[in-house]
Structure 1
Amino acid sequence: MQATPVSAFLIGLALTTTTLQAQTRTARPGSAPPRPYAAGTAVAGLPEFSISRAEVESQTRFLASDELQGRRTGEPGNQIAARYIAEQFRTLGLKPAGSADGQPSYMQPIGFEKVKAASSARMVLGKDTLRLGKELAVMSGGPIDVSGEVIYAGYGLTDGDDGYKRRDVKGRIVVVQGGSPDAKGPGEIFKASGSKRRLATEKGAAVLIELYSESIPWGFVNQYFSREQISLPAAGAGAASVAHLWVNNANNQYKQLKEAGQTVALSTSGRLRSPAPSANVAGIIEGTDPKLKDEYVILSAHFDHIGVGKQGGSPYQPTDSIFNGARDNAFGTVSILTAAKALMQQRPKRSVLVLALTGEEVGLLGSNYYAEHPLVPLKQTVFNLNTDGAGYNDTTIIAVIGLERTGAKAEIEAAAKAFGMSIFAEPAPEQGLFDRSDNVNFAVKGIPAPTFSPGFKAFDEAIGKYYHQAIDNPETLDFNYVLRFCQAYAHAARLIANRPTRPQWSAGDKYEAAGKALYGY
């Protein structure tokens, strides 16, 4: 499959999905027929039991098609995917949750920026010369050529004794320690780094140098920052972001940067920025219970993927440079569309916000933005059932990250059982998966938020073969399993939205305190 331009006909195709859904599909040779369900069961008459394989297959094939060019955030294929989802919501009758230009809209626009990699950077420190790609990584900021004395500000996270100590650093070169006292995983390290950059920008510093000696290997850091990235605009109305660099301080080799009176000379091309607009897509299904309809369950999945060619950051062949993202996460996006259809046909007691998120692959940015700019009050949001995954290696199970922590175990297990599957809880615990998908941005606000994933127990060869690889195409999916997964997800959403009581965090969970603060229990 060669990369081809995004064609205009796709927009028309997105607006006529009902035709696609009406088409019947022939099962792939060797594919098992859908598993039958017990006739006469109490739940068999619910709409999710009537979803067809043709529906989920046509939607998946569209979202993971070559023409959408890997759905990378800020690119045309991503925007077409968002429009497709919005028009599905319109067809189903969901209420627009957002607004654009003063009118109701399914879109929640986000003004991302595309950040080019730096082409040069050089820092002279005494007799040492540090260079881009070896000892230096440029995080942010425009071109700069500056020299002068450095000011060490501890971790650079506060104004207190371990921070700026109320010093005037306007126009100065500030040096800070990498990470934070609490940062352990990659996400926490990058989050702390962003907080330091915002504070240094607010204080008017010219340069922020971070002494990096964290757990992520420096080779990975160099590789990551040598690629184009997507980010939210720098904090502050029109404020130019400080020039921000990481210095490889393994073995504390540049500890002299912490010393008073130390001087450096620094020049860098910086990282040029340009607009890369995208949007979350959100629609509301109003609940039927007079009291419970004021509470919301969020059903979320990210619809973005990693793009084409070098954008993907993984090897590819000239004959197939498109990272289609069938498993990650066209699969999940179709799950929330399936749930939207089933829940609109027979609405649950609580209201449901169906939320397709952008920017997951570039740092969970769409869910981060939503959590800071919610379309329904967070205090009234009682649960987030996120769906995302790297792939599957067992079609008899559904993997749930956070099952034992988030208070809806019985409903999720019942939903899987209704479609002939079982639940495997907390797969691949060494991967820290709970904090690596969009659910974590809801969790940090206090909302119980597990992730409902295709069936796997470990990151084995079957997962690695497709995860973020150009081979992850619709043709490689077992659509009988995709159907049952989507149906089970929709049924779990219904059972949770109909619960008489709210799910709550397990006692002692690290997000329990945030839950208590949000809900006041």
Structure 2
Amino acid sequence: MQSSSLVPFFAGLLLITASVQAQTRSAKSSLPKTKVTASTPQFPEFSLSRAEVEAHTRFLASDELEGRRTGEQGNRVAARYIAEQFRQLGLKPAGSVDNKSDYFQPINLERVKAANSGRMLVGKDTLQLGKELVVMAGGPTNLSGEVVYVGYGLTDGEDGYKGRDVKGRILVAQGGSPDAKSPREIFSASAAKRKLASEKGAAALIELYSESIPWGFVNQYFNREQLAVATTENSNAPLAHVWINNANNKYKQLKDAGQQVTLQTSGRLRSSVMSTNVAGIIEGTDPKLKDEYVVLSAHFDHIGVGKLSGTPFQSGDSIFNGARDNAMGTVAILEAAKALSLQRPKRSILVVALTGEEVGLLGSRYYAEHPLIPLKQTVFDMNIDGAGYNDTTIISVIGLERTGAKLEIETAAKAFGLGVFAEPAPEQGLFDRSDNVSFAAKGIPAPTFSPGFKSFDEAIQKYYHQAIDNPESLDFAYVQKFCQSYAYAARLIANRLTRPQWSAGDKYEAAGKALYGQ
């Protein structure tokens, strides 16, 4: 499907919300009904309509939004659409623009172009860009000199700089950190090393990469355009930073004193770009509990069009619509916002649509560092993300057994005829790969509520980050139940007497105790 002009589409945007209500009324008589018993509570989520769910999804995953890539026009249109839905529902703006209340939380980003040349001489070896060498950051560089090994390069302590003056020197650091396991942790450690090396006036930083993420993936990912949260680094002379493939400890000699290298790269050009999270508040009804917040989050970005997506595509369809990932999740938080605003729960609700997930969890990481609600008052985050579904009889929850709200989630799913499958595809390490981890790392219990799947099989891979992930391929009867289950689970969690707690011994339990003063 090829993109059409956005101009006539903006007119349609103004009409779509009003038309949804008419569609809902006319469609009600023909829609399948959720099975309701005499004991089923009649909260608004039980009346959420398939027609409205479908209309939201078809807009957000339309060709005209061109894959909603962060920093591009389609992403900005999606953000505006979500904000206007919040406004129509009467949510209180949680952000601000130009010191005025707004639904937007603006984020200054940098667009970082891929390097177009790079090589490093180590003894008799020549490491080439796109093979053994990845350029992470920096401007044009042509350096030769003796290297200084700084351990992991994360501290001034015994395993770090040891009080040495490294101004103007070429530094070598071990990749990752002693504790880094997930991609997020590895990349965060790398950014911290670059920041410290830059502050100390180093000329370049070389990391010896031998971490768990395959080098082929690293090589492919960093040899294309990236987005990052803007930093205060000197943009005129940023630190040259490269990774080299140190599989089998091939370049261990760089840890020794007196080793010489030559490093030449074109650098990575940077430019500014804006994006935004979108956030609104539903105030709770309980005089005491309303000061506690349950966050409902989902990322609304996807991977865009053509080469920028980083994914192979056919010439006849270069738009990655992202119906499953994550228009479906964005629609679920919109529907939950509707249900919970019509009949408010005891605790307050922060509904936040996050940008930049596909380019490094940027929106959630920014939110965690610049929260719109104090993190100490945030008792739970129920995030939505997913590659798709292969089982429409269940929902899948990553972190169900860890985050203290299993009963509420299972009760909600059962009310709409769905089961719950915990911890799907454990080999994928999914808990630490989505926006929930930005909240979890701060200590907030934060599972990810996903469409039904148990493993990454062909049914998932067929659509995951593929151009055929279009609204036409969705089972909207299932999407409706998914949205209803999510909204009801949010209500049950917001109404429970006690806060959800991390399971004893969980890796994030200590962060939770520190946050909440337990």
Aligned position for 2:354? 357
- 1:356-414 CA-partner distances (Å, limit 9, x unpaired): 00000011111000000000000000000111111001111110111111111111111
AA of the residue aligned to 1:411: E
CA distance in 2, matches of 1:430, 1:203: 39
AA of the residue aligned to 1:2: Q
Match of residue 66, structure 1, among 63, 66, 85: 63
- 1:162-212 CA-partner distances (Å, limit 9, x unpaired): 101111112211111111111223222212111111111111211110011
Q: Find the residue that maps to 1:337 and give its secondary structure.
A: helix
Aligned position for 1:177? 174
Aligned ranges 1:357-436 → 2 under 5 Å: 357-436=354-433
Q: CA deviation at 1:61?
A: 0.3
- 1:287-337 CA-partner distances (Å, limit 9, x unpaired): 011000000000000000001111222221111000000000000000000
Aligned position for 2:468? 471
AA of the residue aligned to 2:126: T
Match of residue 449, structure 1, among 431, 446, 449: 446
Q: Find the residue that maps to 2:481 and give its secondary structure.
A: helix
Q: Structure 1 residue 324 and structure 2 residue 321: aligned? A: yes
Q: CA deviation at 1:39?
A: 4.5
Q: Structure 1 residue 275 and structure 2 residue 264: aligned? A: no
Q: CA deviation at 1:271?
A: 0.7
AA of the residue aligned to 1:40: A
Aligned position for 2:194? 197
Match of residue 72, structure 2, among 72, 75, 87: 75
Deviates more, 1:166-175 or 1:297-306: 166-175
Q: Percent identity?
A: 73
CA distance in 1, matches of 2:462, 2:340: 35
Aligned ranges 1:26-175 → 2 under 5 Å: 34-43=32-41, 45-175=42-172
Q: CA deviation at 1:36?
A: 3.1
Name the Cα RMSD after superposition: 1.8
Q: CA deviation at 1:27?
A: 12
Aligned position for 1:22? 21
Aligned in 2, Cα 1:135/1:396: closer, same or farther, shift over 3 Å? same
Aligned in 2, Cα 1:168/1:10: closer, same or farther, shift over 3 Å? farther
Aligned in 2, Cα 1:266/1:4: closer, same or farther, shift over 3 Å? farther
Match of residue 306, structure 1, among 303, 317, 322: 303
Q: CA deviation at 1:226?
A: 1.5
Q: Structure 1 residue 8 and structure 2 residue 1: aligned? A: no
AA of the residue aligned to 1:174: L
Aligned in 2, Cα 1:173/1:476: closer, same or farther, shift over 3 Å? same
AA of the residue aligned to 1:125: V
Q: Find the residue that maps to 1:110 and give its secondary structure.
A: strand
Q: CA deviation at 1:121?
A: 0.6
CA distance in 1, matches of 2:348, 2:234: 35
Q: Find the residue that maps to 1:334 and give its secondary structure.
A: helix
AA of the residue aligned to 1:155: Y
AA of the residue aligned to 1:332: G
Q: Find the residue that maps to 1:267 and give its secondary structure.
A: strand
Aligned ranges 1:475-490 → 2 under 5 Å: 475-490=472-487
CA distance in 1, matches of 2:3, 2:142: 40
CA distance in 1, matches of 2:218, 2:164: 31
Q: CA deviation at 1:141?
A: 1.1
Aligned in 2, Cα 1:26/1:282: closer, same or farther, shift over 3 Å? closer
Q: Find the residue that maps to 1:300 and give its secondary structure.
A: strand
Unaligned regions of 5+ residues in structure 1, if any? none
CA contact (8 A) 1:326 1:474 kept: yes
CA distance in 2, matches of 1:26, 1:516: 48
Aligned position for 1:315? 312
AA of the residue aligned to 2:38: G
Q: CA deviation at 1:236?
A: 4.7
Q: CA deviation at 1:241?
A: 3.2
CA distance in 2, matches of 1:263, 1:13: 63
AA of the residue aligned to 2:141: I
Deviates more, 1:360-369 or 1:311-320: 311-320
Aligned position for 1:213? 210
AA of the residue aligned to 2:207: E
CA distance in 1, matches of 2:3, 2:8: 16
CA distance in 2, matches of 1:239, 1:435: 34
Q: CA deviation at 1:519?
A: 0.6
CA contact (8 A) 1:15 1:84 kept: no
CA contact (8 A) 1:20 1:55 kept: no
Aligned in 2, Cα 1:126/1:237: closer, same or farther, shift over 3 Å? closer
Aligned in 2, Cα 1:239/1:518: closer, same or farther, shift over 3 Å? farther
Q: CA deviation at 1:240?
A: 4.8
CA distance in 1, matches of 2:446, 2:15: 33
Q: CA deviation at 1:101?
A: 0.3
- 1:238-282 CA-partner distances (Å, limit 9, x unpaired): 685311101111222222211212222211111111112100000
CA contact (8 A) 1:73 1:276 kept: no
CA contact (8 A) 1:234 1:240 kept: no
Deviates more, 1:489-498 or 1:185-194: 185-194
CA distance in 1, matches of 2:7, 2:475: 29
CA distance in 2, matches of 1:36, 1:42: 11
Number of residue pairs aligned between Structure 1 and Structure 2: 516
Q: What TM-score comes out, normalization by structure 1 length?
A: 0.96
CA distance in 2, matches of 1:215, 1:37: 47
- 1:103-123 CA-partner distances (Å, limit 9, x unpaired): 001000001111111000122
Q: Structure 1 residue 440 and structure 2 residue 437: aligned? A: yes
AA of the residue aligned to 1:503: P
CA distance in 2, matches of 1:317, 1:232: 31
CA contact (8 A) 1:197 1:241 kept: no
Q: Find the residue that maps to 2:358 and give its secondary structure.
A: coil
CA distance in 1, matches of 2:199, 2:459: 47
CA contact (8 A) 2:182 2:432 kept: no
Aligned in 2, Cα 1:117/1:4: closer, same or farther, shift over 3 Å? farther
Q: Find the residue that maps to 1:38 and give its secondary structure.
A: coil
AA of the residue aligned to 1:393: N
Aligned position for 1:516? 513
CA distance in 1, matches of 2:135, 2:473: 39
Q: Find the residue that maps to 2:359 and give its secondary structure.
A: coil
AA of the residue aligned to 1:104: S
Q: Find the residue that maps to 1:112 and give its secondary structure.
A: strand
